[in-house]
Amino acid sequence: MAKTIGIDLGTTNSVVAVMEGGKPKVIPSKEGRNTIPSVVDPEKRVVGDVAKRQLITKPREVIFSIKRLMGRKFDDPVVAELQKWLPYEIVKGKDDRANIKINDKTLTPEEISSMILKKAKEDAEDYLGEKVEKAVITVPAYFDDSQRQATKQAGEIAGLQVERIINEPTAAALAYGLEKQNAHNIAVYDFGGGTFDITILELGDGVFEVKSTNGDTHLGGDDFDQTIIDYLVTEFKNEQGIDLSKDAQALQRLKEAAEKAKIELSSSLESEINLPFITVKDGQPLHFVHKLSRAKLESLTAELIKRSFGPAEAALKDAKMTIKDIDEVILVGGMTRMPKMREEVKSFFGKEPNKSVNPDEAVAVGAAVQAGIIGGEVKDVVLLDVTPLTLGVETLGGVSTPLIERNSSIPTSKSEVFSTAADNQTQVDIHILQGERPLAKDNKSLGRFILEGIPPAPRGIPQIEVAFDIDANGILSVTAKDKATGKSQSIRITGSAGLTNEEVEKMRADAEKNAADDEKEKERIQAKNHADSLIYTAEKSLKDAGDKVEQGLKDDVETKIKALKEILDKGTREELEQKTTELSESLQKIGEVMYKQQAEQNQTGNAADGSAQQGETPKDGGADKKDVEEGEVVE
């Protein structure tokens, strides 16, 4: 079976990984590197290092940072901000989306991204020696539905079946193997090339939930390089009075030297920048020799590191957590190799950050692990997709009865047995709901259908099994089956996952806000349902009792039934409960009389009669007991 690859589709660089022999492995690009620069020349269909080499010759035709435009509307303020510094042209495209215009051609960000993904696919095919058709692609936790959708489409354009879109921090946590540990709250500190993200994840029942996410879209490793270059340029200017930033060749050499020094200073305390013949002054060659210490680098970049903790604090606040609540801190992104950054992260969280995974590769590796889980290669690891909202059915009195709770891992199925609300009811209406509110009317209706042909029977006797099943793609099937006849009816709902993140959030927020009122109303309805059920039992008992019970008692019960019926629809919970208790007490008197007569009969009757009666009783009693226990009745 063909492999599923994991792709970290980054703003500056992209990384591809795959599971091999049960272990994740990063796939080297054709250029022999572990990362592919996310740079595209769409005209020549060239991606990565080769495209990057012509950034200067074709500034308006070579596209980088396309991820920043994914799924965005042209009118989005973010786009206006991007237009200020991105050298290529951004135009309004179909559905008001931000598109790219190159010469006379308009391209969507999806198309541009698809070229990066296509290269990832081809590099993987080259490496694996087999066709690759499926992928798991990561996106930032803050990506909304349309940004995720756009990413998925980019994969499809590239000829990849996108098995799943997962959050970058979740992927990182998977790469660190945290799903198998006891950590509950995880902070993912991701310092990338061009962006910084901090995400608080909560791990519960093997499912990662994003509690909050924050960051700085213009803070990354590139800023560190630039800071070093600026410093070196200033130093040289002070020494020699020549501005190297005006000399393209010298600047290029400085850039490379700065990056090399930055990397070197993560493992050694001093790095020598040695650039002979850097420039010419009065016909004489000048050399640039400079010793850069780790301490100097740290003081130069202290502000940059500090900038990451504002978002980190905000993320904690949004997650309603304090530093004490964080069980594990994991590092992602090449910059986190810098000892000073690790030290600062440690002192901020008061905890040694976990750095056991290559931070450049963690996200891609996690995506590969997820791909392995889907492909069945990795077992004992949880599936990550969850239902964002609770799914249930409407039951008597307009109550929403949950079957699959929110945040359940999918695929999953659940069934429950319901019954009828009235005597001789021959059909039930199955109304499928999505949302956290206790009442049906406040939740989103996903669909409804009717199960007919239930044989006439007293209420509560028919057994209708309602089964919910969500497959791995989030498609919900609901089946209702009458256990007596085997008749069944079902519906498939494909749109259940089609809510935007805002919708999901709004629904959750509404549920929280109205929790108290909703709960009260639900209790009232329960009291009403209970009253209704008792009225039914009382009426049945009166009929069964016939003339065995004296008229006075019967009248008392009838009066109380009438009183309860009057307030059934409008009474408060307390009123309903009081009248229900009163009726129940009167009804017990009838019961007592009946039992007494029964007992007398048994004493006078012979043993054979008694056993025959006993033989019947448990049967009826059992059935009765069952429908009282279930208590939930489908309208």
Partner 1 sequence: MLSEADEYKNKYLRALADYQNLEKRFFNEKKESEKHITRRVVERFLSVMDDIERAQAFHEDEGLTMIAKQFENALKDLGVSEIELVGKEFDPLYAEAIEMVEGDHDNLVMSVARKGYMMGDSILRPAQVRVSKKVSN
Residues lying near partner 1 in the complex (CB under 8 A): 1, 20-21, 32, 41, 46, 50-57, 128-130, 248-249, 252, 276-277, 285, 376-377
Structure tokens at 24: 């994740």
Of 220, 211, 215, the closest CA to residue 186 belongs to: 211
The answer to whether 15 and 98 have CB atoms below 8 angstroms apart is no
Measured from the CB atom, is 6 or 71 closer to partner 1?
Answer: 6
8 is known as an active-site residue: yes
Measured from the CB atom, is 46 or 367 closer to partner 1?
Answer: 46
The separation between the first and the last C-alpha atoms of the chain, rounded to the nearest angstrom, is: 48
Integer angstrom CA distances of residue 454 from 139, 425, 574, 619: 49, 7, 35, 22
Measured from the CB atom, is 288 or 349 closer to partner 1?
Answer: 288
The answer to whether 453 and 421 have CB atoms below 8 angstroms apart is no
Cβ at position 245, least distance to partner 1 in Å: 13
Tell me how far apart the alpha carbons of residues 27 and 52 are, in angstroms, rounded to a whole number. 20
Secondary structure (3-state) at 565: helix
Kindly tell me the sign of the dihedral angle through the C-alpha atoms of 219, 99, 14, 151. positive
User: DSSP of 6-18, one letter per residue?
Assistant: EEE--SSEEEEEE
Tell me how far apart the alpha carbons of residues 358 and 15 are, in angstroms, rounded to a whole number. 12
Per annotation, catalytic residue among 41, 61, 110, 168: 168
Per annotation, catalytic residue among 3, 8, 328, 442: 8
Cβ at position 54, least distance to partner 1 in Å: 4
Measured from the CB atom, is 123 or 482 closer to partner 1?
Answer: 123
Measured from the CB atom, is 112 or 534 closer to partner 1?
Answer: 112
Tell me how far apart the alpha carbons of residues 276 and 385 are, in angstroms, rounded to a whole number. 56
**Residue 393 is which amino acid?**
V
Cβ at position 614, least distance to partner 1 in Å: 44
Cβ at position 360, least distance to partner 1 in Å: 19
Structure tokens at 234: 């200033």
Tell me how far apart the alpha carbons of residues 9 and 112 are, in angstroms, rounded to a whole number. 12
Measured from the CB atom, is 1 or 516 closer to partner 1?
Answer: 1
Cβ at position 259, least distance to partner 1 in Å: 14
Measured from the CB atom, is 55 or 157 closer to partner 1?
Answer: 55
Cβ at position 129, least distance to partner 1 in Å: 6
Tell me how far apart the alpha carbons of residues 569 and 393 are, in angstroms, rounded to a whole number. 22
**Residue 623 is which amino acid?**
A
Q: Is 453 left (phi over 0), alpha (psi -120 to 50) or beta?
A: left
Structure tokens at 578: 């009081």
Angle between helices 501-513 and 515-545 (to 10 degrees): 70
Per annotation, catalytic residue among 41, 61, 67, 119: 67
Q: What is the distance of C-alpha 305 from the center of its chain?
A: 29
Q: Residue 474 has what DSSP assignment?
A: -
Of 209, 206, 204, the closest CA to residue 167 belongs to: 209
Q: Residue 589 has what DSSP assignment?
A: H
Tell me how far apart the alpha carbons of residues 58 and 91 are, in angstroms, rounded to a whole number. 18
190 is known as an active-site residue: yes
Q: Residue 178 has what DSSP assignment?
A: G
Tell me how far apart the alpha carbons of residues 206 and 382 are, in angstroms, rounded to a whole number. 6
Measured from the CB atom, is 129 or 486 closer to partner 1?
Answer: 129
Percentages helix, strand, coil for the chain, rounded to the nearest 5? 45, 25, 30
Query: Which residue do the tokens 């990506």 mark?
Result: 143
Tell me how far apart the alpha carbons of residues 561 and 303 are, in angstroms, rounded to a whole number. 77
Measured from the CB atom, is 256 or 519 closer to partner 1?
Answer: 256
Cβ at position 256, least distance to partner 1 in Å: 9
Query: Which residue do the tokens 């791909």 mark?
Result: 371
Measured from the CB atom, is 57 or 238 closer to partner 1?
Answer: 57
Tell me how far apart the alpha carbons of residues 95 and 144 are, in angstroms, rounded to a whole number. 17
Per annotation, catalytic residue among 190, 328, 361, 632: 190
569 is known as an active-site residue: no
Active site residues: 8, 67, 168, 190
